[in-house]
């Protein structure tokens, strides 16, 4: 479990441990949500200790999963300690928010590196492990990947072009991985969680926590879905994207063709495209964009 020292990752790690999984808690431990500050073993060690105190099995890994070799070390640690790897949950991420016209190359690269490359790195080594095991036994093995996307990808996020792009890329990585690993017995799915964490403190600043009962934006609403997708019960769930928050799970359908136009000649001309496409968008307010989240009746979080 990557990025498991705080917030969503912590809640998901605790849930998997409660369900009986032995957990390798990965967290680079930098204090800033933008990936700034000195790395620390504290967050990963604390969650691992919490799992052990509750009677579970856990150990900490404090490497940077966006580093190819450190991601290898994470997978090898799980295999070496527990004999094999069954579940990979990718959750690690940072934010470097800025409008696209103000964003620096470094801000773009940092977010793509941690989110998208970090997901690829761990997936690569886990996939190689499962493929090797499957070939050795001549049959499918047990493997589960749960990746973390975002509604910023679904509905757009004006001040997060790097984050939205990375989260969209994670969905593409997930569906590709699902197709590639299905024959080995491995599933890969992605979730878009909505929760109050260090990374979303600005987004939910106006939504106060209730005085009584569980916060509708608590990470604990998301963790059970991760546990389900990691379980044998979800064997038929593969290559899917699910939005989850506050007691709600929505299964996102793949994009569908909204309208189709055929040229009356060998190829379209500008005038012909103007004649068919301009009326099609005539009722749409200027500046409005399509978002899959609109179809779900969801608003971005």
* Cβ–Cβ < 8 Å for 149, 190: yes
**Which of 134, 149, 167, 184 is flagged as catalytic?**
167
Q: Among this protein's residues, is 135 annotated catalytic?
A: no
Q: Rounded distance, CA 181 to CA 253, Å?
A: 21
Contacts of residue 282, Cβ cutoff 8 Å, sequence gap at least 6: none
SS3 207: coil
> Taking a C-beta distance cutoff of 8 angstroms, is the pair 143, 126 a contact?
yes
DSSP for 223-279 reads HHHHHHHTSGGGTT--S-EEEEETTEEEEEPPP--------SSSS--HHHHHHHHHH
Helices (H), the chain: 7-18, 42-53, 68-82, 105-112, 118-137, 151-155, 161-181, 223-229, 270-280, 292-296
The neighbouring-strand residues paired with 251 are 242
Contacts of 144 (CB under 8 A, 6+ apart): 86, 87, 88, 186, 187, 188, 229, 230, 231, 234
Active site residue 167: yes
Active-site position among 149, 150, 157, 184: 150
Separation of first and last alpha carbons in the chain = 23
Q: Phi/psi of residue 150, each to 5°?
A: -165, 155
Catalytic residue among 117, 134, 163, 184: 163
Of 149, 148, 155, 152, nearest to 295 by C-alpha is: 155
* Active site (catalytic) residues: 150, 163, 167
């Amino acid at each position: 479990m990557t990025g498991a020292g705080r917030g969503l990752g912590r809640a998901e790690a605790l849930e998997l441990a409660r369900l009986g999984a032995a957990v390798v808690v990965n967290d680079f431990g930098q204090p800033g949500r933008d990936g700034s500050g000195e790395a620390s073993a504290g967050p990963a060690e604390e969650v691992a200790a919490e799992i052990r105190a509750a009677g579970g099995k856990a150990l900490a890994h404090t490497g940077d999963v966006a580093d190819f070799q450190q991601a290898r070390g994470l997978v090898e640690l799980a295999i070496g300690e527990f004999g094999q790897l069954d579940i990979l949950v990718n959750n690690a991420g940072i934010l470097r928010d800025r409008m696209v016209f103000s964003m620096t190359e470094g801000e773009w690269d940092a977010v793509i590196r941690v989110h998208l490359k970090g997901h690829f790195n761990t997936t690569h080594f886990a996939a190689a492990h499962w493929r090797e095991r499957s070939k050795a036994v001549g049959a499918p093995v047990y493997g589960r990947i749960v990746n973390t996307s975002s509604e910023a990808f679904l509905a757009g996020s004006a001040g997060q072009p790097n984050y939205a792009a990375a989260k969209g890329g994670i969905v593409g990585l997930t569906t590709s991985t699902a197709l590639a690993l299905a024959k080995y017995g491995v599933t890969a799915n992605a979730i878009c969680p909505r929760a109050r964490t260090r990374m979303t403190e600005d987004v939910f600043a106006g939504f106060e926590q209730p005085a009584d009962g569980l916060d509708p934006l608590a990470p604990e609403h998301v963790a059970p879905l991760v546990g389900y997708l990691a379980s044998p019960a979800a064997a038929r769930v593969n290559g899917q994207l699910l939005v989850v928050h506050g007691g709600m799970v929505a299964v996102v359908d793949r994009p569908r063709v909204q309208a189709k136009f055929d040229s009356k000649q060998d190829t379209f001309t500008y005038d012909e495209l103007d004649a068919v496409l301009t009326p099609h968008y005539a009722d749409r307010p200027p500046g409005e964009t399509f978002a899959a989240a609109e179809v779900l009746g969801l608003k971005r979080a």
